[in-house]
Chains A and B, each alone.
Chain A
Amino acid sequence: MLEARLKYVAGDFVLDVAFEIRSNWTVLFGPSGAGKSTILRILSGLVMPREGRIQLADRLLLDTAKHIAVPAGHRAIGFVSQQAALFPHLTVRENIAFGIHRLPAEKRNARVDEMLAFFWADSLANRKPAQLSGGEKQRVALARALAPKPRLLLLDEPLAALDVAAKEPILANLSHCGVPVLYVSHDLAETWQSDGDAIVIEGGKLYAQGAARKVLASERERLLRLLGDVAAETRAQGTENRNCVERC
């Protein structure tokens, strides 16, 4: 589905990874500064690597050797980060319609309605982002990213600020959205619970990839060490993660 080989240098930081995405749900796991967000930004086309090749299904998106680089807006890749970045001057409906403005009005409205229903946001359609809660903003951001029917959805911890009760139904919905998802997470419990694949990176290097549960089991020692870093960031999350590795 997606094959990527990326080399990116910024000061002392060197990201040098090669991976494949075969599953509909792949978790990209690693400590802060590992290069997770950089990978997503390169895949989406927002950042240009020094060297690299990205093939999404039958489409070559990037090949630095051949000077091929499809611009971000033409990659058919959706991207949602922790910051919902909704357009504050547009209503929820207009935000969701932003990426499908070329569709005829009837089809566009139908697609927006479909997305609003998919993320239980029908009642929010005419509100402005300032009138939404954090969870509602993220649901609208996801709806906006999925409206153009991307071939891959990149999620850079968009639900990190939400509690489990708010997060779970959204994750469940995303797993049925029909679009392959590459999901950055600090939350090992999420990775463990996922039926998909996992990719583990640290310091710009890839250490493991494959079925999530197998990766967690085989990389037990490394993950325990990495979780020390994660725990320093969020103690509760770190404890939960540590319990998860112990269970592995």
Chain B
Amino acid sequence: MDYQALWLTLRLAAFTTGILLVIGIPLSEWIVFTHSRTRPLIESLCSLPLLLPPTVMGFYLLVLLGPRTAFGRFWVHCFGHPLAFSFGGLVIGSVIYSLPFAVQPISAGFYGVNPAMLEQGQLLGAGRIRLLRQVLLPLSKRSILTAAILCFTHTIGEFGVVLMLGGDIPGATRTLSIAIYDQVQDFAYKQANHTALLLLAISLIALIVLYTRSPRPQVPHA
């Protein structure tokens, strides 16, 4: 078992999930309540990673974060190293790639809140932030848990974007899914099997937690 890759993968998933919740909650609130004409464009951009091949996204991120762009040069100027092929670059790539897994469940949760409650909150003087904090978030707890679990497990299993953006640097960018690829390349099937089983177990446990906490729809007995 490549414990270094395991630790890096867990760190990457934790950072990505935390950042996505911080970004996803206000973004979803905006999507649900805005009257802006840009909403379909923003929603489409948020969902794009679902349809885009990971290599395409990885390629564009590699170019964007590399030293040939103004942003890449600015980063090198400030921090002394490029974002591409670094843990920071992987976090940015994972955040963008897993964005729909945060925004879609959270938006669905917000859409599901009874509008009459939001109106009452509004009539009782609550502004947007208070409505979000005291009405929307408590009533969308399950959706937020779903988003967190999906983001975490999706990041753990990421391959294409990670490989394109981070390469395969042990301790810096080699995640468990890259380690499996390396092990298979080296015909180390037993090791690959152990690593794959670990990923499978993490994903399965996460989904069991998710479905255990989700309410069952009321189906009439036959």
Q: Tell me the A residues contacting B by CB distance below 8 Å.
A: 44-46, 71-74, 77-79, 81, 83, 85-89, 98-99, 144-145, 148
Chain B positions within 8 Å of A81 at CB level: 116
A72 in complex: contacting residue of B122, B134, B135, B138, CB < 8 Å: B122
In the bound assembly, the distance between CA atoms of A184 and B126 in angstroms comes to 25
Interface size class of B (residues with CB under 8 A): 10 to 19
A-B contact pairs, 20 of them (CB 8 A): A44-B123, A45-B123, A46-B122, A46-B123, A73-B123, A74-B125, A78-B123, A79-B119, A83-B114, A85-B116, A87-B120, A87-B134, A87-B135, A88-B139, A98-B121, A98-B134, A99-B123, A99-B125, A145-B123, A148-B125
Main secondary structure of the interface of A (DSSP, over half): mixed
Contact across chains for A46 and B119 when beta carbons are under 8 A apart: yes
In the complex, the chain A residue whose C-beta lies closest to that of B131 is A73
In the complex, the chain B residue whose C-beta lies closest to that of A89 is B138
- Further contacts, 6 of them, CB under 8 A, given A73-B126, A88-B139: A73-B127, A87-B134, A87-B139, A98-B124, A99-B123, A144-B124
Chain A positions within 8 Å of B134 at CB level: 87, 98
Chain B positions within 8 Å of A77 at CB level: 123
Chain B positions within 8 Å of A79 at CB level: 119-120, 123
Chain B positions within 8 Å of A85 at CB level: 114, 116-117, 119-120
Chain B positions within 8 Å of A99 at CB level: 123-125
In the complex, the chain A residue whose C-beta lies closest to that of B126 is A73
What is the distance, in angstroms, from B126's C-beta to the closest C-beta of chain A? 7
Main secondary structure of the interface of B (DSSP, over half): helix
Q: Which of B125-141 contact A (CB under 8 A)?
A: 125-127, 134-135, 138-139
Most buried by A among B119, B124, B125, B126: B124
In the bound assembly, the distance between CA atoms of A145 and B116 in angstroms comes to 14
In the complex, the chain B residue whose C-beta lies closest to that of A80 is B120
Q: Tell me the B residues contacting A by CB distance below 8 Å.
A: 114, 116-117, 119-127, 134-135, 138-139
In the bound assembly, the distance between CA atoms of A89 and B113 in angstroms comes to 12
In the complex, the chain A residue whose C-beta lies closest to that of B118 is A85
Contact across chains for B122 and A73 when beta carbons are under 8 A apart: yes
In the complex, the chain B residue whose C-beta lies closest to that of A46 is B119
Chain B positions within 8 Å of A145 at CB level: 123
What is the distance, in angstroms, from B14's C-beta to the closest C-beta of chain A? 27
Top 6 closest pairs, chain A to chain B, by CB: A99-B124, A85-B116, A73-B125, A89-B138, A85-B120, A83-B116
Most buried by A among B119, B121, B126: B119
In the bound assembly, the distance between CA atoms of A189 and B177 in angstroms comes to 74
In the bound assembly, the distance between CA atoms of A215 and B123 in angstroms comes to 32
In the bound assembly, the distance between CA atoms of A79 and B121 in angstroms comes to 11
